[in-house]
Amino acid sequence: MSGLRATQASISLVGSNVANAETPGYVRKTVIQVAGTNGDYGSSVLLNGVDRQLDQYLQTQLRTETSGAAYADIRSTFLANLQNVYGNPAETGTIEDSFNKLLTAFQGLSTSPDSQSARISAVAAAQTMAQTLNATTQGIQNLHANAEMGINDSITTANNAMAQIAFINIQLQSGGKTDAATASLLDQRDQYITQLSEMMDIRTVVNDLNQVTVFTNSGVQLVGTEAAKLSFNPQGTMTPNTLYSSDPTKSNVGTITINFPRGGSYDLVSTNSIRSGKIAAYLELRDNTLVKAQAQVDQFAASMASALSDKTTAGTAAPGAPAGAAAVGASPQKLLDSALADYYAGQYDLAILGFESYVKTFPQSPQASFAQLHVGISQMQLGKYDPAITAFDTVIRNYPKSNEVPDAYVRKGTALKTQRETDQAREAFEYVIKNYPDTVAATVAQQRLQELLSQKP
């Protein structure tokens, strides 16, 4: 009878192996048979458990490679997306394309400095260049935010895997022996360990009760019969100034903390405790790769601004014109071009003088509202919000039919929002949404209004 039972168990296990051949995480199993005695009547076959046909060394190597593959996959995806932000140099709309067009426009201007079309082309090329740089920065910061969210999602996955490993550990009290149920639990646990290895680099130690203890490769214990819990404080909005620092008072991005089940916590980022897997890739991208990419764009923009503003040519001031107009005379386009050049070079004080001079000298010009708007924008760049609001009010009051009015309302609302004048800011945004519903300004106003309402207590 014992032989029949052993044969029956073996056939059942073979059937299970065949049925689960394509099941992820399933390990082939065999029956452990031993010889037994049956009193004075001979020998018999006894079942002594179920053996999982598993190479522990290969399993360890698989987990190491899983971490490395996850790390490489995340980096590859992000770097491909970063390349899409930069674009193909041969395509239009890229930094290279905008810069080449700017050089061409300036070369044309230097050849024909009195040409109205050459001046307009140069200003338009400069504006396009600025827009391209801004779009590139926005693309990099979107990736920056995606990396932050990727860390958050990976932490959630890791916490779930660790909790499941601890739960299965508690159920494994077989003293090293395995039956079919225990073997199934071990398969499940191995799947969660593999899942955890995708998130970070780990190593495992198994005791005599088949219970596993999981550590990071740096030696931090993650799970035994109790699981530690990882916490992360993601930052929703990322800017070029949103950077990591090992000094908590200077860091303004999320950090990963492990909270141990018996008390105590540990910063895994500042100690470089996670060195592979998805989390390590996201950290590397967020704190190094994308920061360097943004720095390169900033350096290019600064170098270009310096090249445009470091050399000046003396001119003759128009009679009665303010000092800011001296370098360009009384020509309307020259005044405006000079002010825009100062603005794009980041010399906002000079830009304000130029824009104000233009408005004062040519108040009826079609571009007077544009110049007045940029007085306010330049004031905001300097952090001078009250003068900025006054400048935007001037646009609204003096040029009520101009295309700059919706933008003036939005920027006024933004300045009021920064000064915590919540009600007035809301009124400005709502005015644009109601009266200019199909404009870009209305879209921006809607976004700013939502931000305002979410912050209002």
CA distances from 354 to 114, 245, 326, 384, 455 (A): 19, 40, 9, 17, 37
355 within some domain: no
Tokens of 184: 């199934």
Quick one: pLDDT at residue 5?
A: 59
Q: What is the pLDDT of residues 273-282, one digit of tens each?
A: 999 999 999 9
335 and 325 Cβ atoms separated by less than 8 Å: yes
Tokens of 319: 């009679």
Asked whether the predicted pLDDT for residue 329 surpasses 60, the reply is: no
Residue 308 or residue 348, greater confidence = 348
249 and 269 housed in the same domain = yes
In angstroms, rounded to a whole number, what is the distance separating the alpha carbons of residues 205 and 216?
Answer: 11
Asked whether the predicted pLDDT for residue 24 surpasses 90, the reply is: no
449 within some domain: no
The residue segments making up the domain with residue 34 are 2-52
Q: 329 has which bridge partners?
A: none
In angstroms, rounded to a whole number, what is the distance separating the alpha carbons of residues 287 and 441?
Answer: 33
Q: What is the pLDDT of residues 29-39, one digit of tens each?
A: 666 655 666 65
Quick one: pLDDT at residue 184?
A: 80
Label residue 261 by pLDDT band (50, 70, 90): very high
31 and 9 Cβ atoms separated by less than 8 Å: yes
Choosing from 237, 265, 293, the residue where a domain stops is 293
Q: What's the burial of 286, exposed, middle or buried (CB within 10 Å: 0-12/13-18/19+)?
A: buried
218 and 157 housed in the same domain = yes
Quick one: pLDDT at residue 46?
A: 55
Label residue 22 by pLDDT band (50, 70, 90): low
42 and 73 housed in the same domain = no
Say how many domains are in the chain: 2
- Ramachandran bin of 93, using left for φ above 0, alpha for ψ from -120 to 50, beta for the remaining angles: left
152 within some domain: yes
233 and 175 housed in the same domain = yes
Task: Give the mean pLDDT of 339-358.
Answer: 85
208 and 68 housed in the same domain = yes
258 within some domain: yes
Of the given ranges (22-31, 158-167, 206-215, 270-279), which has the lowest mean pLDDT? 22-31
237 and 192 housed in the same domain = yes
Choosing from 254, 274, 293, the residue where a domain stops is 293
> Minimal CA–CA distance to 62: which of 168, 227, 190, 214?
190
78 and 225 housed in the same domain = yes
Q: What's the burial of 43, exposed, middle or buried (CB within 10 Å: 0-12/13-18/19+)?
A: exposed
Quick one: pLDDT at residue 325?
A: 38
Q: What's the burial of 380, exposed, middle or buried (CB within 10 Å: 0-12/13-18/19+)?
A: buried
184 and 286 housed in the same domain = yes
Q: What is the DSSP string of 267-292?
A: ETTTTT---SHHHHHHHHIIIIIHHH
Q: What is the pLDDT of residues 376-410, one digit of tens each?
A: 999 998 989 999 999 999 999 999 988 889 989 99
Label residue 430 by pLDDT band (50, 70, 90): very high
208 and 270 housed in the same domain = yes
Q: What is the pLDDT of residues 26-83, one digit of tens each?
A: 666 666 655 666 655 556 655 556 666 576 788 889 889 999 999 999 999 999 999 9
161 and 192 Cβ atoms separated by less than 8 Å: yes
In angstroms, rounded to a whole number, what is the distance separating the alpha carbons of residues 18 and 147?
Answer: 41
Place of tokens 């009195």: 114
233 and 278 housed in the same domain = yes
7 and 65 housed in the same domain = no
Quick one: pLDDT at residue 316?
A: 43
191 and 251 housed in the same domain = yes
Longest pairwise C-alpha distance within the chain: 129
In angstroms, rounded to a whole number, what is the distance separating the alpha carbons of residues 291 and 286?
Answer: 7
148 within some domain: yes
Task: Give the mean pLDDT of 309-330.
Answer: 44
108 within some domain: no
374 within some domain: no
Helix-then-strand count for the chain, H and E: 14, 8
Quick one: pLDDT at residue 404?
A: 87
39 within some domain: yes
pTM of the model: 0.62
- What type of residue sits at position 257? T
